[in-house]
């Protein structure tokens, strides 16, 4: 199905249920779907598992979602940052669970979910606390750890341009987790800087094919106050 194209952030995130696993794109602020996260907070959805590289910084975005008490568990590679005070407090108070995953495993485990891989043997983390209790096996003289896919009920990502078929392009290092998360969730919601007509994106430069896009939030229309 071609994606729904909407200009109302609340409409974009409507239907995200309590207890969902939500994949949230971005690395630092690059590629962070801030408009969708704000709408998710307004939606009231709670008991969420959030999968994202970081666990929020400052008081906005993911940090605000955490502060609002909507997150049961965070799966991320790097929760502790100089300005991750919201997460730090909730974690120390036992208000939020944490699964720390090496960044490459985070990406590859979501890629596996999107690609139909049941599990994979991975070279990262062997002999470290993050592999404790996990199955290991030797192939060709090297030891690997068995890792399982991470899939989402919903992915919230940001892209640069999207056409009305949902084909997406990204910009510079804001690409990061977006293309992987788009494949790993049952429903992918994308905020884009601009929506263009079908045919306006060169088929050779599409990064996320439209098959992965379910809802497209047109930020240009949001700025204009809807359309």
Partner 1 sequence: MSVVEHLDRGPRDKNELAAAIAGDIPHGAYVNLGIGQPTLVADHLVAGSGVVLHTENGMLNMGPAARNDEVDPDLINAGKIPVTELPGASYFHHADSFAMMRGGHLDVCVLGAFQVSEHGDLANWHTGAPGAIPAVGGAMDLAIGAKSVFVMMTLFTKDRIPKLVSACTYPLTGLGCVSRVYTDYATFEVGAAGARVLETFGIALTDLAERLDVELRGHVD
- Residues lying near partner 1 in the complex (CB under 8 A) are found at 1-2, 27-31, 77-81, 87-88, 91-92, 98, 100-108, 110-111, 113-117, 122-130, 163-165, 167, 170-180, 183, 198-199, 201, 203-204, 206-207, 209-212
* Among a copy of itself, partner 1, none, residue 100 binds (CB under 5-8 Å by kind): partner 1
Q: Please answer whether residues 148 and 109 qualify as being in contact, where contact means their C-beta atoms are separated by less than 8 angstroms.
A: yes
CA distance 62 to 60: 6
* Among partner 1, a copy of itself, none, residue 101 binds (CB under 5-8 Å by kind): partner 1
Q: Please answer whether residues 36 and 156 qualify as being in contact, where contact means their C-beta atoms are separated by less than 8 angstroms.
A: yes
- Return the range that interacts with a copy of itself (CB under 8 A); candidates 20-28, 30-38, 74-82, 134-142: 134-142
Cα maximum dimension of the chain: 60
144 binds a copy of itself (CB under 8 A): yes
Burial 93-114 (b: 16+ CB within 10 A, else e): eeebeeebbbeebbbbbbbbbb
Classify 63 as helix, strand or coil.
helix
> CB of 119: closest distance to a copy of itself in angstroms?
5
Q: Which of 122, 117, 114 has its CA nearest to residue 157?
A: 114
Residue where the block lists tokens 């239907």:
15
> CB of 113: closest distance to a copy of itself in angstroms?
11
Q: Show contacts with a copy of itself in window 157-216 (CB under 8 A).
A: 169-172, 202-205
CB-based contacts of 193, cutoff 8 Å, min separation 6: 159, 160, 161, 219, 220
> CB of 48: closest distance to partner 1 in angstroms?
20
Site residues, a copy of itself (CB under 8 A): 108, 112, 115-123, 137, 139-140, 142, 144, 148, 169-172, 202-205
């Amino acid at each position: 199905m071609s994606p729904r194209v909407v200009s109302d952030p609340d409409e974009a995130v409507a239907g995200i249920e309590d207890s969902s696993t939500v994949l949230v794109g971005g690395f630092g602020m690059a590629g962070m779907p801030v408009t969708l996260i704000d709408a998710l907070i307004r939606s009231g959805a709670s008991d969420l598992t959030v999968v994202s590289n970081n666990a929020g910084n400052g008081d906005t975005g993911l940090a605000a979602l955490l502060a609002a008490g909507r997150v049961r568990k965070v799966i991320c590679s790097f929760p502790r940052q100089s300005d991750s005070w919201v997460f730090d407090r909730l974690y120390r108070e036992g208000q939020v669970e944490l699964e720390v995953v090496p960044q490459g495993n985070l990406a590859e485990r979501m890629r596996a979910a999107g690609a139909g891989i049941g599990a994979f043997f991975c070279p990262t983390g062997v002999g470290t606390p993050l592999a404790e209790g996990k199955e290991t096996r030797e192939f060709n003289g090297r030891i690997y750890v068995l890792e399982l896919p991470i899939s989402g009920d919903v992915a919230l990502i940001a892209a640069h341009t999207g056409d009305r078929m949902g084909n997406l392009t990204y910009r510079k290092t804001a690409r990061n987790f977006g293309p992987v998360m788009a494949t790993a969730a049952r429903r992918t919601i994308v905020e884009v800087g601009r929506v263009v007509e079908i045919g306006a994106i060169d088929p050779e430069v599409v990064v996320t094919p439209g098959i992965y896009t379910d809802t497209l939030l047109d930020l240009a229309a949001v700025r204009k106050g809807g359309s």
